[in-house]
A and B are shown apart, each in its own frame.
Chain A
Amino acid sequence: MEEEVSIQITDAELEIILDDLLMIHGYDFTSYSKASLKRRMNRLVLHDKFLSFAEFRYKLRAEPEYLQRFIEEITVNVTEMFRDVTFYKTVREQVLPVLATWPLIRIWHAGCSTGEEVYSMAILLKEANLLHKSLLYATDINPAVLANVRDGIFPLSMMKQYSENYIQSGGKKDFSSYYTALYNVVKFDEALGSKIILSTHNLVSDGSFNEFQLIMCRNVMIYFDKELQDRVLTLFDDSLEKLGFLALGAKESLKFSAISSKYKQLENREKIWRKVVE
């Protein structure tokens, strides 16, 4: 094993970077989990071989292209199709039949990253014969990932795993019927993408922009501190119709949040809450 020699960002330097991002570029990361940010920043500094903190800071202040890279690397863009199969089974069996009663279904994927969950949802809607009357709003802080969602292109190497997830979540079709393989990537059926509306949206600084019956925000808020989590949950509450659903990641909860009294978790304890009080 080689010794990796690298500068280590200190807590004070982390704060300086966060200040710069906010003051110069308008990105507010000050309420993100510091431990996670620091780890990702140190990985970036190591990977991009910076020799001093000053050099890193300068590049980040002065070069817009590097800022773009920084945002891509600091925000976590790890996602899967049909991740947590029992979650998707529950959406299929308990959430979609309720959504079906609305004339127009609006779903918000907040922090959608590269779009794997958006396409998973589009497949569920199509199979429930609801896609034609649905709109899927997919938003992320990072404009670079949204281009991926628009194109519907994903790595071929992941399809075996996704196909297994799909079957385990109750899918009955041949998963490969949803995409066309092109060398080492696949392109999903354009009909699935046709109901997806893309926009950059920063959960820290942007407000509510519509009313939805389902909001999906899975494994996004774990990167926020407790106070920001509460603010974002209030934003979701403001954006959710009565009797709509809020879906969170496997280790996230409404417990102890400001809005918890208005919500009731599904009985099977999946991380899906229904808004029972306006």
Chain B
Amino acid sequence: MEDKPLLQTTPRLIVIGGSAGSLSMVLKILPHLDVKLQVPVVTVFHRKSSDDTTLIEVLSTRTCFEVSEIEDKAGISPNVFYIAPADYHVLIEKDYTFTLDDSEKINYSRPSIDVTFESAADVYGANLVCILLSGANADGVNGLKIAKQKGGCVIVQDPAFAEVPYMPQQAMTHVTPDYILRPDNVREILAVLGGQPV
């Protein structure tokens, strides 16, 4: 992967998917989000309902991005760190607005990472960056495949550094990531997304 230091296209959306054990990596990513990126970040975590405000508060202290739970039909703005609400899938419309969807769980999950990766790939194509983190099921893997087919950039957390390696392992088996994310290269990879060489 190090032989591909620069992205072919400018990222216009970053989608992060994570399940069990992914929060610590998200907390490492947050301080490196730079407003110069001019991108929105959408995160889909598997989590139980309720503690929404706590999570937003915890994340807000680590980043200069505004942290906000996704609202139905809201427009997608740069420099916002969006969080999928518990119990709804998040889709993206061609006019760059969000749609929430409470249909059947996918991979036993709602929100499902696959749903958002696939929908984002349909809208953003090669301008999409998908990041898949730690987790205990294979949600997100199909979405990564589709993102890759459409020319998007795929980043997977190194399973060796993931609290629960199953999800990134599954991803590595089925997709060749453009970058492998480790605790010690978060800053470099985010710099690459901003158009700077490693």
Contact = CB atoms under 8 A, between A and B. Distances in A.
Interface stretch (B13-21, B40-48, B92-100, B188-196): B92-100
A39 B97 CA distance: 16
A222 B91 contact: no
A194 B172 CA distance: 56
B118 A39 contact: yes
Contacts of B87: 250
Nearest to A34: B93
Contacts of B103: 36, 40, 76, 78
Contacts of A40: 103
Given A33-B91, A35-B92, A253-B71, A222 B138 contact: no
A35 B99 contact: yes
Interface in B78-107: 85, 87-88, 91-94, 97, 99-104
B122 to A, nearest CB: 7
Contacts of A76: 101-103
A33 B93 contact: yes
A251 B88 contact: yes
A39 B115 contact: yes
Contact of B141 (A1, A33, A38, A223): A1
Given A39-B118, A78-B104, 5 more contacts: A35-B99, A35-B119, A78-B103, A251-B71, A251-B85
24 contacts: A1-B138, A1-B142, A1-B170, A1-B174, A11-B94, A33-B91, A35-B92, A35-B93, A35-B94, A39-B101, A39-B115, A39-B118, A39-B119, A78-B103, A219-B102, A222-B101, A222-B102, A225-B73, A226-B73, A249-B102, A251-B71, A251-B72, A251-B88, A251-B100
